[in-house]
Structure 1
Amino acid sequence: MSATAAVSFEPTPNPATMKFLLHRHVADEGFDCPTAQDAERSPLASKIFGFPWTSAVYIGTDFITVTKQDWVDWELLAQPLSGLIQEHLNNEEPVVVEFVSSPEDDANDEPIVRNIKSVLNREIRPVVALDGGDIVFHKYVDGTLFVRMKGACSGCPSSQVTLKEGIETRMKELFAEIKEVVSV
């Protein structure tokens, strides 16, 4: 077992979601678990969903965001949850098993779609990940880019501002064809 920093946590712009910094690489790409059923391939997410206050879990490359129900406060949850995650990592239990390539990667994409995905992956996703979230390409149809907000971004009160004033503005600067960016 390698010595690594203890799991730490920090708030996100979404008050219901806390970001847990793992200080190590645990996944090659994000894995979203908006429900307990979606956590099937993640032993750690399944463990977290064992608590009745869990609403969603998102696993990033080196962090996890957990969204809680409104009836419980982070002051009671954050430290014990950080310890549970640390114990899971210390025991070298898997975080995500058999990660399958995502449907976003298609060699038959049109050039504009490949370019949009490239900008999302290179510019947008790393910035959104700083707040414990993720944004992935869903589809591009007739000038409208459809994206899926995950992790702390899902249900965040400021996600619409991020989407319209940040992501949409940047994508329109780069691609004259894009008229609108919509979250699905």
Structure 2
Amino acid sequence: MLIETETTPNPATLKFLPGRPVMEVGTRDFATPEEADASPLAQALFGMGDVTGVFFGRDFVSVTAAPGTDWRALKPDVLSVMLDHFSAAMPLFRPGPAGDFVVPGPDAAFPENPDDVDIVDQIKDIIETRVRPAVANDGGDIVYRGFDKGKVFLQMQGACAGCPSSSATLKNGIEQLLRYYVPEVTEVRAV
């Protein structure tokens, strides 16, 4: 089995492509070792000590290293863990409560206004069809969290979380795109 690697715009994150599907539906972001308890693979990666984030995409796994970590030393160990996992056809998630998860919906802090349903649908469609595929190419994901009085709230995940260029991506890319297609959008913010 060959696992390819790609750099991402985030120098702390590498994208690993095992040559097979990773997630059948959705994505999963693990920002802490406690969250990784749901997945044997994520837990093994966090167990290496230098890993601070794991993200499962459709056909890739992004791994974020702690500041100051040398990827030349860490990369062979990450590849070894992934090779063992995928070669043994181990499950990605543990059965039961630790492995059950729900893709989060809009954030409760931004309750949807019934008058904004059409605007929100347009925003979600643009994010799903134009933004998420581009962000996935960089080893991450972006999740809609809410819309309130012209402001769109998005959560960056995977390689995009903590990326030095993520604020530029939000302001110069996503915000301009949304404002062009949905005039009611005045600003995009990360949550």
Match of 1:8 in 2: 4
Aligned residues: 178
Q: Aligned Cα RMSD in Å?
A: 1.7
**What fraction of aligned residue pairs are identical, expressed as a percent?**
39
Match of 2:184 in 1: 177
- Structure 1 range deviating more: 14-23 or 142-151: 14-23
Report if the CA contact (8 A) 1:13-1:158 is conserved: yes
Match of 1:54 in 2: 51
* Aligned partner of residue 140 in structure 1, secondary structure: strand
Report if the CA contact (8 A) 1:9-1:78 is conserved: no
Report if the CA contact (8 A) 2:174-2:188 is conserved: yes
Q: 1:101 Cα shift?
A: 3.8
Report if the CA contact (8 A) 1:32-1:151 is conserved: yes
Q: Which amino acid aligns with 1:160?
A: S
Is 1:124 paired with 2:121?
A: no
* Aligned partner of residue 20 in structure 1, secondary structure: strand
Any unmatched runs of 5+ in structure 2? Answer: 107-113
Is 1:89 paired with 2:86?
A: yes
Any unmatched runs of 5+ in structure 1? Answer: none
- Normalising by structure 2, we get a TM-score of 0.87
* Aligned partner of residue 170 in structure 1, secondary structure: helix
Report if the CA contact (8 A) 2:22-2:61 is conserved: no
- Normalising by structure 1, we get a TM-score of 0.90
Match of 1:21 in 2: 17
Q: Which amino acid aligns with 2:45?
A: I
Q: 1:99 Cα shift?
A: 5.2
In 2: Cα distance, 1:160 partner to 1:178 partner: 17
Match of 1:110 in 2: 117
Q: 1:62 Cα shift?
A: 0.7
1:2-57 deviation line (CA, Å, top 9, x unaligned)? xxx51111111111111111211121111010111111222110110101111111
Report if the CA contact (8 A) 2:29-2:54 is conserved: yes
Task: Label 1:100 to 1:118 Cα distance change in 2 as closer, same or farther (>3 A).
Answer: farther
Q: 1:115 Cα shift?
A: 2.2
1:77-124 deviation line (CA, Å, top 9, x unaligned)? 11231122021011111123555442328xx88222122112111110
In 1: Cα distance, 2:124 partner to 2:34 partner: 28
